[in-house]
Each structure stands twice: as structure tokens, then as C-alpha cells.
Amino acid sequence: MESSGYRVVFEKGGVYLHTSAKRHQDPDSLIAGVIRVVEKDNDVILHWAPVEEAGDSTQILFSKKPGRKDSCISEEEPTFDPGYEPDWAVISTVRPQPCHSEPKRVAEPSSSQGSWAFSVSLGELKSIRRSKPGLNWAYLVLVTQAGGSLPALHFHRGGTRALLRVLSRYLLLASSPRDSRLYLVFPHDSSALSNSFHHLQLFDQDSSNVVSRFFQDPYSTTFSSFSRVTNFFRGALQPHLEGASSDLPLPPDDEVEKGFQVKLGPRRPVKRAPPVTEEEWALHVGPEGRLQRVPELKARIFSGGLSSSLRRVAWKFLLGYLSWEGSAEEHRAHELQKTDHYFTMKLQWKSVSPEQERRNSLLHGYRSLIERDVSRTDRTNRFYQGPENPGLHLLNDILLTYCMYNFDLGYVQGMSDLLSPILYVILNEVDAFWCFCGFMELVHGNFEESQETMKRQLGQLLLLLRVLDPPLCDFLDSQDSGSLCFCFRWLLIWFKREFPFSDVLRLWEVLWTKLPGPNLHLLVACAILDMERDTLMLSGFGSNEILKHINELTMKLSVEDVLKRAEALYWQLLACRELPHNVQEILGLVTPAEPHSPSSPSSPASPLQLSPTCSPPVVPPSADPAPEPDSSLEILPEDEDGA
């Protein structure tokens, strides 16, 4: 229905402005209002007005598509919101800019609150910032093309997702690579983007509904069609970054020095050794059960891995659960202590009643995510097959207990992929939990919301590749693939989905030795790209074909071949006397001068600059794992194949 050229397509009450900078708002600092999306004179306007000025909703003429229920109006936001509202998200710090977003009113305000009413054309929006998930009310901050921020809109009754879904009918919303809570706004008439959506079949549904899919299940969407999603983000973001203004900072201006070339020597062949057996391990066990010649033992694990029968013991040392220097008696006491600690944390969530959980959105949200992920983790492995498999129950319990252990991080999708092989090998609930905690000490940064750790790793990978194979880097740059975003999943969960299950066990135990340096996983990624360089460069692949080819390598790689090549790349770099200093830092040959700050040149979009040095690299002794884990309690089916 239409009236006087207006058509209201969305309305939501309970949208407040907070006029105080205090974390806890008093009633006088809240202004209740109504947010509407209105079509008017070939334009679409977002309008907010206080309740007394918004008018009687019965007088508003809504437009509904025939045969479709208007879910945007009635649908409420899920209650899960794990985090806290930043103090800056209040009106006092983001008052509207009169020069750009002058409020447009249908009637004169009846009180001083009316001065807060505003309208903005969707075409004037530059970005939308969503609140950090938390226990407080969700909010949105709208940034205009002029760089001004409109007042933060606090949705006390839910509705942020519904509003964004409506906006996605008129705009393309793309998540910023630097801030997962920032959505960059593009007009729907971008023919290049629209054509690429259709041609690449990025999404099963209409491409205009892209935001809805990511809001409903962001992680599984990324995992299930990662290369296509990466291609969408890259294509959507590049036009924006070229003309970005000061409130969205560009990457640091320190490109790789094109004129600086590192001359590498020949690559020496590397042979892998047979796995360490129980008999060989026993030769390293001294009086009182203390391990002897530990560096030699770690070197053997690095060069050959472990036999399947030895993993259950050795992984506890590799993951920092048991001390390499401890005696057998000390290990038993440590396991008893950690068992008590584990069940204390497990009892914390076990004792929460269903009624309590209904009022605990944080726990309820984690439980829902974990149950969904566990139900589809490694189900083709016989160890996890079947609807009532005890292994699935233990995965669920361990992950929920980890939420009690690490409140700040909680549960993020992908963690179940890391736990599954550990539980498969350890066959003990408590031991598996503390081994998992040790693994998370190594990779927890991968799951942090800021994604700074992942950006830094992609930047380091690009730097290594630039030194090892400049022609391949130039080729990837020419095909718009120089950011190496297709390697994101490799680094996020340590190649868990790239190799067969049994090969993942071998790869991880080699990486856990931290030999020959702390970032062997980056050299593993370089090795895979090195193995595929001829296919990539000689086949005339464009960016889409590169992404497709990399994605199709899953389960086709030999872990032994990849490890041999990764080690060969390391020795080739080590032999170079002109190795840049920052490459030496990545390889662990020198101590970094200072930790990377958020402004440091570590973003994948801005390759690290090569810094030549005259001093030859020196290999320091490797450090032992730092995590502090615990143990106990047997369960689970007997050992399956694939170890």
C-alpha cells in the first residue's frame, strides 16, 4: 500500500538512543523511538524518531510482498550476545552531523527529545558498524559518505538482523577484512559484483540475500564454500579501498622492495626417517621415569613422527600437558590435580538448570554452536560414526568445559576440528581436554575476533613466498590473488581439512616439536604452493581458477612429500647469507626486535618489507611448549584404523 508517495517497508519499535556515556544507563538517559525504512520518490530512507514523534503505528501504511509473511517486522533477535558494549557507543560521542544528516521531520517535535530524530538516504551510507556481541543491547552505528556518524541505535527488543536483511534488499553489505563488525556499503547497481555473483554461483540463494546467510551461520558458510566467499570479499572490497577515507585506514605504505632480490642456493634433498617406536622411546626413559636426551628425541619426532601406539603417551608431552623433565611420580600427581580441576569446571555448566540456562544467553549460545558443530565433525571416521556415539558426547563435554576454562575466548567454530584428532588419539576425557588446552595455547589467536593473528600469518607467508619464489608471487599478484586469502583455512585449523585424517596426526605431531623453528606451518603452506606452481602458472589460470584448484587439493596431498619439501625450503633459506632480517624472525633464527603492533606491516593486504642483513642466521635452541594442562577418566571405543 502507498500513501502520498511513501511506502513503509520496515518498522521496529524499542529502538533507543543512549544519551549518557555511562555503561549502566539510567532511565532519563534513554530515548525510546521507532526505526523505519521508507521508500519515497525513487529513494529509500532510513528514519528514526522518538516515540512521541513517531506517530500511531496504525496510521503507517506498510507494503508487504504478495504471498509472503513480513518476517522482518515480527522476527526477534536471538538472545546470544557474548561480550560487552563499548563505552563509545552512546549519543554523546556520535551526535549527528547537521551538515550532512540534517533530521527530516514529518511533524514538529513535541519535546526536546524530538531534536534527535533523523533521516538518511541509503545512498548516503558508507558503512554500518555492529556492536560487539555481548550481554547488553545490540546496537548499530551508521557512517555516512561524508564521514560523520549518526547516533548509535540500541535495539532493546532485538531487530538488528531484521533491519540489516531489509537493507540488503537495496544495498550490498560486505564485511571489512580489518574489522569483522564493520560492514561496507555498496549500491546494488554494481554490475561487476552482481555479474560475478551470478557467474561464480557464490551462494545457493539470490546473491542479494548474502548478508542474511552470513548472519545466520557465518562460520559454516565460510568453511563450506571458502574460496568462493574469499573471491566475493576481494572483489567487493577492492573498489572501496581505492577511495577509502580516513575513518577506514588504508594498509601501511610499505610494499615489498621490488629491486631487492635474495639469491638462494640449490635446494638440498631431504629424507624422512621412520616413525619413533615404543622401543626407541623407552631408550630415552631414565631413572624415576624422567626422559633423557629430550632435544634428540624431539628431533627424531620431527624427522619421522610417532608410531600410532606411542602417540597416546607422547602427545601429552608435545602439547605441554606433561613436563619433559618430570618424573613418573610427579606426572601422576599432576594428573590427579588436573583431574580435580577439570571436573570442577565441568560441574559449573553441568549444574546449570534448563530454567537458569534460559536466562544465560552466553552459555545457551555456546551450547547450541557446539551441539551443531559436534554433530558434523569427522562423522566419516568410524570413531565418530553413529547417532549415540560416546565420542560425540565427549567432544561436546570437553568443548563446553573449555568455555568455562577460557571465558574470554569461549567457543568458536573450528575448535571441534582441532579437538577431534586429540580425543581420537588420547582416548581419555580429562587428558584430551588438557592436551586440547595446550594446542589452543598455540593457536588461540587464530580464533580471536580481531583476526590480527591471521592477518599477521598471511603477511608472513607472503613474505616467505616472495623470497622463495618471486615469479610465483608476481603471477599471483597479476591474477588478483596476491593476498593469499585462499590459504586462510590452511592456517586457521592447521591443514585439518586438507589431508586425510591419519596424515593430519603425523603433520601435527611434527609441527608440535617446534622444529626447526616456530613457524614450520608457514613453510608447509609454501611447500604446497611450490608443488603446485607449474600447474598454476602454466595453465593460464585466472583468480577464479586458482581458488578452485587450491580448493580441489583437499585430500589429494601426501603429508610426507609436503613435509620433505617444507624442510628443504627451510634449509635453502638457512643457507642464504643475505637472508632478510624479518625472514630470520619468522624462521626463529633471531629474536624479533619488538612485537608486532596493530599498525605494524603484517597485514596480508600489505606485504612485509624485505630488510637485508649482513649477519648470517644462527639457529637457537627450540623452546619447550609453554601451556599448562591436566588429566584422567577412561572411556571411548577401542583404537580404530587411520592412526
What is the 8-class DSSP label of residue 270? -
Of 18-22, 161-165, 343-347, 472-476, the range with the highest mean pLDDT is: 343-347
Tell me what pLDDT residue 540 has.
Answer: 82
Q: Note whether 316 and 379 are same-domain residues.
A: yes
Q: Note whether 421 and 472 are same-domain residues.
A: no
Q: Note whether 467 and 573 are same-domain residues.
A: yes
Q: Note whether 575 and 533 are same-domain residues.
A: yes
The CATH number that applies at residue 572 is 1.10.472.80
Cβ atoms of 606 and 455 within 8 Å: the answer is no
- For residue range 304-315, list pLDDT tens digits in order: 999 999 999 999
Residue 103 resides in a domain = no
Cβ atoms of 126 and 185 within 8 Å: the answer is yes
Tell me what pLDDT residue 388 has.
Answer: 83
Residue 517 resides in a domain = yes
Residue 284 resides in a domain = no
DSSP codes joined into one string, 385-448: -STT-HHHHHHHHHHHHHHHH-TTT---TTHHHHHHHHHHHH-BHHHHHHHHHHHHHHHGGGGS
Q: Which of 184-188, 290-294, 574-578 is the least confident region? A: 184-188
Q: Buried (b) or exposed (e) across 335-364, using 16+ Cβ within 10 A? A: beebbebbbebbeebeeeeeeeeeebbbbb
Residues 66 and 464: their CA atoms lie apart, in Å, by: 57
Residues 373 and 387: their CA atoms lie apart, in Å, by: 14
- For residue range 55-86, list pLDDT tens digits in order: 544 343 333 333 444 433 333 343 333 333 33
Degrees, nearest 5: CA angle 410-414-337 = 50
Q: Note whether 472 and 516 are same-domain residues.
A: yes
Q: Find cell 567454530 and name the residue.
A: 413
Q: Which of 179-188, 342-351, 420-429, 551-560 is the least confident region? A: 179-188
Residue 268 resides in a domain = no
Q: Find cell 519499535 and name the residue.
A: 13
Residue 598 resides in a domain = no
Q: Note whether 531 and 428 are same-domain residues.
A: no
Spacing of C-alpha 205 from chain mean position: 24
The CATH number that applies at residue 356 is 1.10.8.270
Mean of the pLDDT values across residues 218-234?
45
Higher pLDDT, 242 or 347: 347
Expressed as residue numbers, the domain containing 133 is 7-19+28-54+117-186
Residues 249 and 247: their CA atoms lie apart, in Å, by: 6
Looking at residue 612, its amino acid is P
Mean of the pLDDT values across residues 257-266?
69
Q: Note whether 37 and 182 are same-domain residues.
A: yes
Long-range contacts of 206-209 (CB under 8 A, 24+ apart): 208/168, 208/169, 208/172, 209/165, 209/168
Q: Where a domain ends, among 144, 164, 186? A: 186
Cβ atoms of 257 and 609 within 8 Å: the answer is yes
Q: Tell me if residue 95 falls in helix, strand or coil.
A: coil
Sign of CA dihedral 544, 547, 550, 553: negative
Q: Where a domain ends, among 167, 186, 205? A: 186
- For residue range 518-542, list pLDDT tens digits in order: 999 999 999 999 999 999 999 888 8
Residue 394 resides in a domain = yes
Q: Has residue 619 got a pLDDT over 80?
A: no
Joined grid coordinates for residue 563? 613435509
Number of independent structural domains in the chain: 3
What is the 8-class DSSP label of residue 493? T
Mean of the pLDDT values across residues 546-550?
93
Q: Where a domain ends, among 550, 566, 587? A: 587
Q: Note whether 44 and 162 are same-domain residues.
A: yes
Of 249-258, 439-448, 470-479, the range with the highest mean pLDDT is: 439-448
Q: Has residue 227 got a pLDDT over 80?
A: no
